[in-house]
Structure 1
């Protein structure tokens, strides 16, 4: 008999914002002994706040962009196959959605191991539902190209696709680049394109605005070092 791979989202904002966890989810979490995490330090703080006793029998493995190629997933599959369950915890938000973990989940499926997702405080979903843009048809692109010239071209292509298909285009960026990305969007997108900026969701600094580019150019906003979701759509206003 195999254990279960639990996908455990962590708070987008303050660690105290864990009311999305149901009682049954919390009880499962408190009894887990094995965890795959992006950062052991923040994972321990999250578990402590959720009431885990954090005894000496806990096992953590850090799985992030710095060590993808160094982790032997087979070792963790053996643990699951030995009737031990594992919690996969993201750093802030949802495992596998613009965060590590999808390869682990796929390997679990291929080995007939049950995958169980906890309730999700997704910044992507929160941003889209608050944007007023198309929530029926949309594309999420994660992080766009790091090269500025390629990024500008990519934005133009996505804008054209949005105009033709009606899709909202969603992406995110690391906090220290948020202001630069916002400025680039203002200088790249057409004046009638709608842009939603959703920053620091579910925190006291939450900011959500949707405006056409021509209106954004007359609006002052400071996004430096803020966690942002950007959504744009070139559509007819009605």
Structure 2
């Protein structure tokens, strides 16, 4: 019997201190499933081992970390994404054809959602391998739920350009879509949150609604949602060193 591909969620505290207690961040059933896996496809092996060490503190691992079979997704998949094709992930699933369940893991949140992994999922379907998505947190959905913006029609657009002129143009393009009723969600790399925040306040219309969610699931988590005009009257709310999701809508 062929094995399955399990999409294993990771906590949202990657790169943050202190980490969240794992049994509070993820459902126990997902942790049990992760603890029984011996074969992995991961975004980063070092990060994956650190995660599995935390899992082992809650539920005993099936084999020691040193005996885990772990394959990293290629760096090009990280940089350019793997949703558009061009990367053949079928060889990475050979162990499933031999009867082993394989875990797919990214650094934070759900693999293949704002993270690499979709090529592996597609390959599993093409090979007739069962795909099982385990329950866990998604920063995008948590931020959307907390924003008060339209949750019936929304889009995640990844990162905005770093060049100031290109970023301003992109913000205005997204605002036009948002004002038609489709909430626009995007993220920024650590230590650029405040640069993006100021660009949003300068580029968006005063009446456009702007929301943020920072440090989701952490002890210092915060979020807010106001018209841009109101935000211009307040101190910048988002920390520069904490993962954040931003949303524009009406």
Assess same fold via TM > 0.5.
yes
For residue 133 of structure 1, what is the aligned residue in structure 2? 149
Any conservation in 1 of the 2:214–2:244 contact (CA below 8 Å)?
yes
Report the CA distance between 1:80 and its aligned residue: 1.4
Runs (5+) with no aligned partner, structure 2: 14-18, 81-86
Structure 1 residues 20 and 205 mapped into 2: Cα distance closer, same or farther (>3 Å)? closer
- 2:47 is aligned, of 42, 45, 59, to 42
Alignment partners' CA distance in 2, 1:87 and 1:229: 26
Q: Which of 59, 75, 80 lines up with 2:69 in the alignment?
A: 59
Superposition map of 1:139-178 within 5 A:
139-163=155-179, 165-178=180-193
Question: How far, CA to CA, are the matches of 1:65 and 1:176 in structure 2?
Answer: 22
Cα distance, 1:49 vs structure 2:
1.7
Q: 1:31 aligns with which of 12, 29, 36?
A: 36
Pair 1:190–1:103, CA change in 2 (3 A): same
Shift of 1:230: 0.3
TM-superposition CA deviations, 1:118-174 (whole Å, max 9, x none): 1020111111111111111111112223433222111111111221x2111111111
SS of the residue 2:191 aligns to: helix
Number of residue-to-residue matches in the alignment: 232
Matches within 5 A, 1:74-89: 74-89=90-105
The unaligned stretches of length 5 or more in structure 1 are: none
Alpha-carbon distance in 2 for matches of 1:177, 1:40: 26
Q: TM-score, normalised by structure 2?
A: 0.85
| Superposed displacement of residue 18, structure 1 | 3.7
TM-score scaled by structure 1?
0.89
